[in-house]
Chains A and B, each alone.
Chain A
């Protein structure tokens, strides 16, 4: 299975900060990468697919980049509703696998 490693595993940030989360694949996955946001007790919400394409209705403060093995999710200006855990997922090969998550907390 392809291993997805996210860093950091957690971070503290303030409202208005620019936040970047990194996801690294154990082998090349082209751009078959998605990002999800999950709040406590809730289902994940899809943010990005194909590494950089925003899902419908997702605000443009979220952006994704990368290809091959290294990917990033950036939140341009952190808002209170953005405090959550973020997961990456590769779907280049079976089985699709998720990163361990990055918890974004309030500083």
Chain B
């Protein structure tokens, strides 16, 4: 069955960097667009970034553009989110999700806490 497993979260100081990973199984990653979506503690959902199935297109929400980079390695069935210049308001659970339009499948998420 489809599984998405995120990792790489943790506690990081403001201004530092972190890289999240999402390993996919149960399907061929190379056929699907993939997203990162985040949820601040006790808050709603915020879409963060998309990478197309062939990495030919990416999109970002305004608040992370220029600081975050989404990438993929289809040979490793993995997508990444490189997060630089982290801020306190980036604190959230980060989910990876599959889908070009709606988000069909979600991982369990990884928690990123930005705090001094």
A and B from one assembly?
Answer: no
- Chain A residues packing against B (C-beta within 8 Å): none
